[in-house]
């Protein structure tokens, strides 16, 4: 009934190669665009806009990591460090070199891309687990360098205060203005990534992931494309870092340590490796999870207080951090076992079910 | 020349302390190597095993008044159960899924263990009282802490024991067979699942011993898990599948980080200890990724 491809015939190559060739997907995309550009900022209050901002920034980072891990098959546990590089580079550009925000943003991305390409050099010789460990080393080395080189970190606390983003004379300091900034950046990031994976470069990435020896034989220059994957992924990470720095007002390495790297890995695994939509869904899931958890735990506490007025519920609220850790680990393991292709696969199952509904036989 | 001779005691003290601590790193790395050798599974949660096992012993002694041996039994028992549950519920469904699945599963496990510890006992650090004096011991006019010497000796015993086990015993041969080719090993009548469970249990027990030693040295709390991050340089230098390699890697990492920290720390304000092993590791990965004694993985198309 909703068979999307039914009756759709292309008469030009351009129509066939469009990013969204089917009318249904075009309408759906337009609808989503209207939802996020028009409806959400009108109805959401500052709290929900804040959440949306965090989700958008995390989505940029998740897409970057998925390009490297999901599409090119190079395991990286150093994403947090590249985000930190971008954050500090952007912060230094804006505060010390006096660059405007709209130059500082790509500048942070480029610096992170250079650092990422450098730490991708081992990928020429090692792969799989060994590469993962090398990126882990990158995480710690970059973190140490940021903390201990005063020129970068600006002192003992390794924190740089960053003013809110400003485009020309217009300072973006309300939640709504930052929402639109982050929305524009993440939209550009999504469109670029979607086109990248359809291009020859993207196909080279996928070839490397699937069978790199065979890819080399058919002429894919392994080292060049692996470095490119690291560079592009780190560019996304750098942009994420700059956005975080401007949104939160400070650049601090503690936000981008190994647990951040693990968070982003969790985002793409839960969302689905090798899928842009998966990265976005995963970013939404992981970013919103702590807030949902807090609401649930407080709810449970309230219920217990209602039933047993003398109960000591402060213990429950205090154990929020530990519950979050346990749940986080459980979710990763459950998703790995039950749905290895992540939320993206769940969405595809739903979509494919309705593709031929009600004539699914 | 005189300057060098004057420096020598300081350098030797750093070196000796580093070597002894390095042996203790090797003990933690042993658990990692045992698992990887048999099942090619990477255990990113080894540090959390050390933390959890050590903390169970610490909590049993401090909060429940058990003496050392019963507390150790509690620790071992719990790690055995965790190892068995892990193998049965998590690792068996993930067989054949590739490196990243196992890595992420053990990262998830690490998170769960950390959360459990915080939930049940809170973030406070607990001491493990061992019948070992705190006073430094003199060894050729160099001062060392007695606990590091005891720790090194215990590690040496275990490492030698496991080396022997892998080489000579039936159990070791079966484990090596499983590591080489699972299907053929099963055809020969070796129950692969049984041996996988055994490796995880062993890793847990070895980690608990490490946890007791480290808990005595630096106190048992959530941060003990950071030892697990030191495991990677040790096993990369030594070779992921080699027990003697773990010893060599441990010695090198321990000595290098301590000596470097002693000389470089005053200039950079600390933190060199966390940094130097990873520099070593990057060099090793560039030059000899399989380590000194590791097996080279030959990819066949």
Q: Can you tell me the mean pLDDT for B64-84? A: 88
Kindly tell me if the per-residue pLDDT of A336 is higher than 60: yes
Asked if the C-beta of B226 comes within 8 angstroms of chain A's C-beta atoms, the answer is no
Q: Concatenate the DSSP letters of all residues of A21-75 into one string.
A: -SHHHHHHHHHHHHIIIIIHHHH--HHHHHHHHHHHHHHHHHHHHHIIIIIT---
The answer to whether residue B178 scores a pLDDT higher than 60 is yes
Q: Which residues contact A204 (CB under 8 A, 6 or more apart)?
A: A215, A220, A225
What integer pLDDT is reported at residue B112 of this predicted model?
92
Q: A3 pLDDT band (50/70/90 cuts)?
A: low
Ramachandran bin of A8, using left for φ above 0, alpha for ψ from -120 to 50, beta for the remaining angles: beta
* Phi and psi based region of residue A163 (left: phi greater than 0; alpha: psi -120 to 50; beta: remaining): beta
Instruction: Decide if pLDDT at A24 tops 70.
Output: yes
- What's the helix, strand, coil split of chain A in %, to 5? 75, 5, 20
Please state the ipTM of this predicted complex: 0.86
Q: Please indicate whether, in this complex, the C-beta atoms of A325 and B112 are within 8 angstroms of each other.
A: yes
A44-355 carries CATH number 1.10.3470: yes
Average pLDDT over residues B205-215: 89
Residue of A125, A265, A324 lying closest to B104 (CB–CB): A265
Tens of pLDDT, residues A113-172: 999 999 988 888 888 888 888 999 999 999 888 888 877 776 666 778 787 877 777 788
Of residues B76 and A317, the one with the higher pLDDT is B76
Residue B186 — pLDDT band, cuts 50, 70, 90? Answer: confident
Check CB contact of B266 with chain A, cutoff 8 Å: no
pLDDT at A2: 66
pLDDT category of residue B77 using cuts at 50, 70 and 90:
very high
Q: Place A81 in a pLDDT band, splitting at 50, 70 and 90.
A: very high
CB contact under 8 Å between B94 and A329, yes or no, is: no
* Range from A149-163, B166-180, B209-223 carrying the lowest mean pLDDT: A149-163
Q: How many CB atoms lie within 10 A of CB A167?
A: 12
The average pLDDT across A98-113 equals: 92
Q: In this predicted structure, what is the pLDDT of residue A313?
A: 66
Q: A113: Cβ–Cβ under 8 A, 6 or more apart, which residues?
A: A231, A232, A234, A235, A238
Q: What is the mean pLDDT of residues A4-11?
A: 83
End-to-end CA distance of chain A: 13
Whether pLDDT at A330 is above 70: yes
Is residue A1 over pLDDT 60?
no
Q: What is the pTM of this model?
A: 0.90
Q: Report helix, strand or coil for A170.
A: strand
Does the pLDDT at position B252 exceed 90? yes
Q: Is A331 on the interface with B (CB under 8 A)?
A: yes
What is the C-alpha to C-alpha distance for residues A113 and A118, in angstroms, rounded to an integer?
9
Q: CA of B112, closest CA in chain A: separation in Å?
A: 4
CB-based contact, B289 to chain A, within 8 Å: yes
**Does the domain made of B2-287 have the CATH classification 3.30.2320?**
no
Closest-CA distance, B31 to chain A, in angstroms, reads 17
Give the whole-number percent of chain A exceeding pLDDT 70.
96
DSSP B152-212: HHHHHHHHHHHHHHHHHSHHHHHHHHHHH-HHHHHHTT--HHHHHHHHHHHHHHHHHHHHH
């Amino acid at each position: 009934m909703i068979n999307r491809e039914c009756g759709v015939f292309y008469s030009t190559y351009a129509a066939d190669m469009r990013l969204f060739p089917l009318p249904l997907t075009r309408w759906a995309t337009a609808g989503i665009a209207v939802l996020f550009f028009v409806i959400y900022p009108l109805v959401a209050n500052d709290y929900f806009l804040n959440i949306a901002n965090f989700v958008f920034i995390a989505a940029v980072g998740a897409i970057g990591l998925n390009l490297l891990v999901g599409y090119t098959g190079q395991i990286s546990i150093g994403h947090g460090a590249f985000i930190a590089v971008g954050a500090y580079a952007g912060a230094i550009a804006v505060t010390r070199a006096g660059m405007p925000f709209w130059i500082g943003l790509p500048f942070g991305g480029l610096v992170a891309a250079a650092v990422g390409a450098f730490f991708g050099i081992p990928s020429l010789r090692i792969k799989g687990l060994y590469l993962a460990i090398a990126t882990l080393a990158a995480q710690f080395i970059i973190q140490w360098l940021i903390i201990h080189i005063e020129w970068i970190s600006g002192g003992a606390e390794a924190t740089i205060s960053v003013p809110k983003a400003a485009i020309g004379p217009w300072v973006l300091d309300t939640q709504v203005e930052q929402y639109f900034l982050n929305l524009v950046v993440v939209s550009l990031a999504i469109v670029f990534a979607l086109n990248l994976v359809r291009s020859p470069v993207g196909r080279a990435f996928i070839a490397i992931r699937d069978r790199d020896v065979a890819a080399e034989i058919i002429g894919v220059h392994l080292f060049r494309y692996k470095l490119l994957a690291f560079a592009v992924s780190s560019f996304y990470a750098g942009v994420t870092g700059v956005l975080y720095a401007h949104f939160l007002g400070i650049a601090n390495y503690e936000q981008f340590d190994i647990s951040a790297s693990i968070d982003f890995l969790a985002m793409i695994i839960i969302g689905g490796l090798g899928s842009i939509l998966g990265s976005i869904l995963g970013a939404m899931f992981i970013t919103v999870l702590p807030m949902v958890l807090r609401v649930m735990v407080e709810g449970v506490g309230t219920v217990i207080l209602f039933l047993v007025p003398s109960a000591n519920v402060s213990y429950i609220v205090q154990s929020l951090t530990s519950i979050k850790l346990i749940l986080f680990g459980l979710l990763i393991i459950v998703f790995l076992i039950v749905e290895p292709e992540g939320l993206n696969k769940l969405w595809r199952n739903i979509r494919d079910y309705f593709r031929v509904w009600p004539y699914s036989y | 020349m005189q300057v060098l001779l004057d420096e020598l005691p300081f350098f030797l003290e750093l070196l000796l302390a580093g070597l002894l601590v390095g042996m203790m790193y090797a003990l933690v790395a042993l658990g990692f190597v045992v698992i990887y050798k048999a099942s090619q599974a990477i255990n990113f949660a080894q540090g959390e095993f050390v933390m959890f096992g050590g903390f169970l012993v610490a909590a049993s002694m401090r909060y429940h008044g058990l003496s050392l041996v019963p507390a150790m039994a509690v620790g071992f028992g719990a790690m055995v159960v965790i190892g068995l549950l892990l193998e049965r519920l998590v690792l068996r469904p993930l067989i054949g899924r590739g490196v990243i699945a196992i890595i992420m599963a053990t990262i998830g496990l690490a998170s769960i263990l950390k959360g459990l510890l915080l939930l049940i006992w809170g973030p406070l650090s607990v001491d493990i009282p061992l019948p070992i004096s705190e006073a430094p011991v003199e060894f050729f006019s160099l001062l060392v802490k007695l606990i590091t010497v005891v720790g090194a000796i215990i590690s040496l015993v275990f490492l030698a024991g496991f080396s022997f086990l892998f080489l000579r015993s039936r159990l070791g041969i079966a484990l090596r067979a499983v590591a080489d080719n699972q299907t053929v090993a099963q055809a020969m009548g070796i129950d692969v699942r049984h041996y996988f469970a055994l490796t995880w249990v062993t890793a847990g027990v070895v980690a608990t011993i490490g946890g007791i030693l480290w808990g005595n040295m630096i106190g048992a709390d959530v941060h003990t898990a950071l030892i697990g991050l030191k495991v990677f340089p040790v096993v990369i230098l030594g070779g992921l599948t080699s027990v003697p390699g773990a010893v060599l890697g441990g010695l090198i990492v321990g000595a290098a980080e301590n000596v470097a920290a002693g000389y470089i720390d005053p200039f950079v304000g600390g933190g060199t200890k966390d940094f130097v092993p990873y520099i070593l590791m990057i060099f090793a990965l560039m030059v000899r990724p399989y380590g000194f004694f590791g097996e080279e993985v030959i990819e066949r198309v």
